Structure 1
Amino acid sequence: MRTPSGVASGSLVGASRLGALAAALAVVGALPWLSGRDPALSVLRARSEEQVATPEALASVREDLDLAPTAGGQLVRWASGVLRGDLGDSWVSGRPVLPDVLAGLAVSLTLVGFALAVAAVVAALVVLPALRAAVRGSSARSGGAVAALLTSLPEFLLATALLVVLAVHLRWLPPYGWEGPQHAVLPALALGLPAGGLLGRLLSDAVSSAAAEPWAATWAAAGTTRARLVGGLLLRAVPGVAPQVGMVLVGLAGGAVAVERVFAIPGIGRTSLGAAGAQDAPVLQGCVLALLLVGVVCGAGASLLRRAVLGRALRTAGLSVAEPEGARGWGARAAPLVCVVLLAGTTLAGLLRDPYTPEHSRLQAPSLALPLGADASGRDLLARVGHGAASTVGTAVLVCVLAAVIGIAAGLLPRLSTGPVEVTNAAPPVLAGLVTAAALGPTSQPVGSAAIAVLVVSWAPLAAHTAALVTEARAQPHVRVLPLLGVGRARLLLVHVLPDVLPPVLRHAALRLPGTALALASLGFLGLGPQPPAPDWGLVLAEGMPYVERAPWAVLAPAASLVALSVLAVTLSSLGGVTRWRRTATSSSALAAGTSASTSHGSALAGPSGAATSTTEPTSQLLSSTAAPPQVETRP
């Protein structure tokens, strides 16, 4: 029987979820007005720059597009249309929005389905050595270099490489379009390989830990068949990975936007990018709403999967819960050092050069005087990559600091922040980028728009981490007794809880720096970040794509920098975000209570590249009634 305090707590969490969902829908409905400009004036200027914006002309546009005179009226009109299944008509083509959104969504979901098939095969291949080692009773390093390499490749970068090698040079597969199964191979590989590497790596870690638990040795000594032992190990490993499955699906939805652009696939991602560029607000509203709903469904599905499997897994393992062990060894620690040296050297050398003046021949090949060659405008690529690194990393530092402040403040009130965290985790940065582009315009404050978009989704993992640690800290006996001694709520949080929470959360925020920089570059590649002639990594890569066949160095320089940055993000998350396995005994009743909030603590930065970088500090009693479920690292 639930106590009155438990009922009140549940009501507060429910209200938080409903409020966050309502706020998200209100933002989507108000997209035409977020920029502060009259939508009728924007449409009038798009139709004719010379026509005078008289009240009569604006009224004619409003009547033609069925626009309400105020933002509130338009929001009510849009919401009522959504309830009727009517998303309005496109401002550009005049066609109904819903059929185009559904058609694009069907293409994107088909692509994600193919990508999931690729991810399942890759994950099975990656986890197979760990299962063999567990059955033989030997130890084997889980994850492996191949899985780490796959995990560290951003989808848009992998898509570019596959397009150049397999489609352009080898001509094995078609490079563009969506006309048959053969057109889905390269996009599915670009999305599925990183996702499969991540899931396989997480499963390998979980299987290796489960094999070291007492029940596994007992089963082996009792003569249990290999098939049953493998089934028990997988059943034991799935609950810890289940929350990340939802994050992987959200990452696939975000990564599909970039992949669809690279391969010219008419999915919802490419449709939304086109709508953002043309300022076609009704189409953009429909696409954003569809992507948001996909993220919410993915998160809910992962929560149901975890609940369905978790009970059986704990009965198998003697009611114990595990966290993955961090990477060890000289190789794992040398990789981030090598990446830092390469990035620092490139940045310092590039800062001494001019990134804007076209002083060289167009697409000039690399030489001693021009180490990385020149771009299509004759600008020094080394200078552009170096200045882009300084700008991107500097912006990423600012975003991480602000995300830490917001995340800690929200995490101190875990029940109130549950809804916003869940909704934010369901939205990849590309979704925030689309909304920000609609609010600020495609050329207004470009650097700030990308930073705002990444910040919108960056605070949620830190808030979830803070909430988990706060909940655990408040459950400690010496803290629970403080209210009886007259200590107020504010003093309890700020003096007795916050000092224990700050160090791991700040380390978490620092470890997210490379992933944040990668997300900024990804938005630049999609055209949702800095605009020309800014030396942004993603923008430099996008500018070099049309010339990749005749001048591969135009793409190689920014691509190599992005790979180094991505490897740095993955290796740092493995070293610092996840430490060592810790088991906690718990009762079935406490477990049922503790998993009710599991979806609020999935931490990931699902970037436009589809990647999700996430690290959390291990905490004790992670599946007790007062704690959050265990988190494991994921990538951008």
Structure 2
Amino acid sequence: MTVDANAVQETDPEAQGLAARPMHPLVEFWVYFRESRGAVAGMAVIAVVVIVAIFADVLAPHDPTEQFRDSLLTPPVWAEDGSWAFPLGTDAVGRDMLSRIMHGARFSMVIGLVVVTLSLSIGIGLGLVAGFFRGVVETLIMRLMDIMLALPSLLLAIVIVAILGPSLFNAMVAIALVYLPHFARLTRAAAIGELSRDYVTASRVAGAGLPRLMFSTVLPNCLPPLIVQATLAFSSAILDAAALGFLGLGAQPPLPEWGTMLAEAREFVLRAWWVVTFPGLAILVTVLAFNLMGDGLRDALDPKLKRS
């Protein structure tokens, strides 16, 4: 006698429980995230960039500051012995472009990480304070954020760097301050939406203190949009740092930062295309990868966008 599996599930409560068991959150996240091929491709590119950044000392064929005086502005060509001595050519002082781009990936990852960490941590604190303490405190914080948002982001970063002095660290601080209002406003809006829910009321009744309500009860439920915004801010931070480096306000030579490399190559654009093309492509590919992954994170973390 044959047994119908569907009939067993309909009559057996334990089988019904197994069939209706929800997926693990990480598994559910990956199911929705992988639906976007662009997001998966972006994550793969970011993984490669991170690996190159971590192991740049091992993977780079030369030291990024080593100068080969007999190979100034050498194009990407084969060497006489059949090897590819400079796969991406050399710059105006004979430094290997591939090695500098690989080490530049390290600077770009550090810039994005520092900027997002600073702006996210301070923005979350200000947003939670504005969401919990309504009235004068909220008005002062949000009006300050509005004033910062009213100024063009790059112009504001230039002003801050001009006050602090041109350096890579000061550029990261300036960019973090520029992105701070986005995280503060997003956290405040999410916190206000969560404060009216029953689980927050239950925590209050149970005697939870204000720090516990802010950081243990409300904040975890505000993280999905903040994660998406942090991913997009990571790519924007890399782009803005490259812009400041191009203007001479970010990383200073001879640091192999992509924007600084573009600034050093401006006068050789017409006769040495590779000194501008490859750093520009590195910025383009990295920023595009983070944006694609950010779109995939938004689709995977936002319940409104999940298909039933």
TM over 0.5, shorter chain: yes
What is residue 190 of structure 2 aligned with on the other side?
A: 469
- Does 2:292 match 1:571? yes
Which residue of the partner structure matches residue 499 of structure 1? Answer: 220
Matched, 1:332 2:42: no
Q: Which one of the candidate residues 249, 256, 272 is aligned to 1:535? A: 256
Secondary structure in 1 aligned to 2:304? coil
Look up the match of 1:405: 121
Counterpart residue identity of residue 354, structure 1: D
Is contact 2:168–2:251 with CA below 8 Å preserved after alignment?
yes
Residue 357 of structure 1, CA deviation: 2.3
Write the mapping of 1:476-487 to structure 2, written as runs, cut at 5 A.
476-480=197-201, 483=204, 487=208
Amino acid at match of 2:181: A
Q: Structure 2: where are the runs of 5+ without partners?
A: 1-31, 78-83, 131-137
Structure-2 change in CA distance of 1:379 and 1:410 (3 Å): same
**What residue in structure 2 maps to residue 582 of structure 1?**
304
Matches of 2:48 and 2:279 in 1, distance apart? 13
Matched AA of 1:407: G
Matched, 1:433 2:157: yes
Deviation at 1:426, TM superposition (A): 2.5
AA partner of residue 559 (structure 1): G
Structure 2 residue 75 is matched with structure 1 residue 365: yes
CA distance in 2: counterparts of 1:535 and 1:332, whole angstroms: 29
- Secondary structure class of the residue paired with 1:512: helix
Name the counterpart of 2:106: 390
Map Cα deviations across residues 347-390 of structure 1 (whole Å, 9 max, x no partner): 53764521112114221111311011011111111111111111
Question: Aligned partners of 1:329, 1:558: CA distance in 2, in Å?
Answer: 31
Change (3 A) 1:342 1:549: farther
Equivalent residues in 2 for 1:224-243, closer than 5 Å: none
Larger RCO (alpha carbons 8 Å, 6+ apart):
2
Give the match for residue 421 of structure 1. 145
Compute the RMSD of aligned alpha carbons: 2.8
Provide structure 1 residue ranges, at least 5 long, that are not aligned to the other structure.
1-325, 584-617, 619-636
Percent identity over the alignment is 31
Shift of 1:576: 0.8
Give the Cα separation in 2 of the matches to 1:437 and 1:510. Answer: 24
Aligned residues: 256
CA contact (8 A) 1:404 1:506 kept: no
Aligned counterpart, 2:247: 526
The letter of the residue matching 2:174 is A
Letter in 1 for 2:37: G
CA shift, 1:330, in A, is 5.2
Aligned-pair distance for 1:495?
A: 3.7
Is 1:343 the counterpart of 2:53? The answer is: no
Instruction: State the secondary structure of the residue aligned to 1:540.
Output: helix
Displacement of 1:524 in angstroms is 0.8
The answer (yes or no) to whether the contact 2:40–2:293 under 8 Å persists in 1 is no
Q: 1:355 aligns with which of 64, 69, 91?
A: 64
Give the Cα–Cα distance (whole angstroms) in 1 for the partners of residues 279 and 203 of structure 2.
55
**Contact 2:190–2:222 (CA under 8 A) maintained in structure 1:** yes
Cα deviation, residue 506, structure 1: 4.4
Shift of 1:454: 0.6
- Matched to 2:157, the amino acid is G
Question: Given the superposition, is the C-alpha separation of residues 447 and 482 from structure 1 closer, same or farther in structure 2, using an over 3 Å criterion?
Answer: same
Query: What CA distance in whole angstroms lies between the structure 2 residues aligned with 1:344 and 1:477?
Result: 42
Aligned to 1:53: none
Change (3 A) 1:346 1:499: closer
Question: Equivalent residue of 1:535, what SS?
Answer: coil
The Cα of 1:528 is off from its aligned counterpart by 1.6
Describe how 1:154-173 pairs up with structure 2 within 5 A: none
> d(CA) in 2 for partners of 1:370 and 1:499?
49
**Shift of residue 345, structure 1, vs aligned partner:** 6.8
1:374 aligned partner? 90
The separation in 2 between residues aligned to 1:381 and 1:520, in whole angstroms, is 19
- The one-letter code matched in structure 2 to 1:358 is Q
Relative to structure 1, the CA distance from residue 337 to residue 441 in structure 2 (aligned partners, 3 Å threshold; closer, same or farther) is closer
Q: Does structure 1 retain, via aligned residues, the 8 Å contact 2:100–2:256?
A: yes
AA aligned to 1:332 is G
- Measured in 2, the distance between the counterparts of 1:581 and 1:486 equals 30
TM-score by length of 2: 0.73
Distance 1:402 1:351, change over 3 A: farther
